[in-house]
Amino acid sequence: MRIAIVSDVHANIEALDAVLADAAAGGEVGAVWCTGDLVGYGPDPGAVIDRLRAAGALCIAGNHDLAATGRMDDNEFNPAARAAARWTASALSAEHRAWLAALPLVCVEGEFTLVHGSLREPAWEYLLSGEQALDQFALQETHASIVGHSHVQFYAEECETTPELIGVRDGDSLALGEARVILNPGGAGQPRDGDPRAPYMLYDDAARTVRWRRVPYDFTSTQRKIVAAGLPQRLADRLALGR
Ligand code: ZN
């Protein structure tokens, strides 16, 4: 079975649709997983929720999902993120809000644990260093964990010493072996590594191989909707920069 794994879709339906189409173009997609931040920043929170639900996606909550549903104070957000969280809260239907509010912070599926930030601080910690990877492995009960939140594609393999976070590019793959791993599919709806193409990860459970992908999409229509919604201009600008 092929599993499409996305994170940080951030209410960007054009990016999500491009990723799902790319995954489907390579063969049947048996499951879709999303490691949090379905909403926030972008103009289409309801459409993203509908699309993921229609795909039967396994989803967990990220900090933006918590903020948009009142499960978390948005005072620690920067001004643009806070403005977007409040706009999102007002844009969600009661039904969408209830569905989003019910998402768990951590989910175990087979040999994978899905968590937005880290197992130590599921909604908040940016896992960005070898020391943090070490702490993650200490709490990780499955072979692999999948994190998001940093919007950067990488992996880390458990080893005798402090693991390195290995950055990946479009088409890179990793065969899961004996060593436990931490995987990050990147931020589909708002990449932050200088490449505006939408990132995601494909897992083939027969081959036990993960492949990272980048998909071009029409971010100009997302940008237009961000501006039309009255969301901060910076949130539109950054989609062209991948920052
Ligand atoms: Zn995010």
Query: How is residue 16 written in tokens?
Result: 């999500």
pLDDT at 75 over 90: no
pLDDT at 138 over 90: yes
> How confident is the model at residue 104, as a pLDDT?
98
Residue range 102-114, pLDDT digits in tens: 999 999 999 999 9
Nearest Cα to Cα of residue 7 among 167, 133, 132, 115: 115
| Residues composing the chain | 243
Residue range 9-19, pLDDT digits in tens: 999 999 999 99
Compute the chain's Rg from CA coordinates: 17
Q: How far is the CA of 152 from the centre of ligand 1 (A)?
A: 10
Query: How is residue 150 written in tokens?
Result: 């940093």
Please check whether the domain covering 2-241 is classified as CATH 3.30.1360.20: no
Look up tokens 């005072």; give the residue.
Answer: 75
pLDDT at 73 over 90: no
Residue 205: count other Cβ atoms within 10 Å of its Cβ.
Answer: 15
> How confident is the model at residue 76, as a pLDDT?
84
- What average pLDDT does this structure show over 43-62? 98
Average pLDDT over all residues of the chain: 97
Q: How far is the CA of 142 from the centre of ligand 1 (A)?
A: 23
Q: How far is the CA of 81 from the centre of ligand 1 (A)?
A: 10
- What average pLDDT does this structure show over 46-60? 98
Q: How far is the CA of 7 from the centre of ligand 1 (A)?
A: 8
Quote the pTM value.
0.97
Q: How far is the CA of 187 from the centre of ligand 1 (A)?
A: 7
DSSP 153: E
Q: How far is the CA of 24 from the centre of ligand 1 (A)?
A: 24
% the chain with pLDDT above 90: 97
Residue 179: count other Cβ atoms within 10 Å of its Cβ.
Answer: 12
Q: How far is the CA of 160 from the centre of ligand 1 (A)?
A: 31
Query: How is residue 43 written in tokens?
Result: 């103009």
Asked if 15 and 240 touch (Cβ cutoff 8 Å), the reply is: no
pLDDT at 160 over 90: yes
CA 125 to mean position of chain CA atoms: 14
- What average pLDDT does this structure show over 117-129? 97
> For the purposes of burial, counting CB atoms within 10 Å of the CB of 190, is it exposed (0-12), middle (13-18) or buried (19 or more)?
buried
Q: How far is the CA of 3 from the centre of ligand 1 (A)?
A: 21
Of 27-31, 76-80, 189-193, 208-212, least confident by mean pLDDT is 76-80
> How confident is the model at residue 45, as a pLDDT?
98
Residue range 162-202, pLDDT digits in tens: 999 999 999 999 999 999 999 999 999 999 999 999 999 99
Q: How far is the CA of 25 from the centre of ligand 1 (A)?
A: 26
Residue 12: count other Cβ atoms within 10 Å of its Cβ.
Answer: 30
- What average pLDDT does this structure show over 66-75? 91
Asked if 42 and 227 touch (Cβ cutoff 8 Å), the reply is: no
Q: How far is the CA of 117 from the centre of ligand 1 (A)?
A: 9
Q: How far is the CA of 204 from the centre of ligand 1 (A)?
A: 25
> How confident is the model at residue 74, as a pLDDT?
84
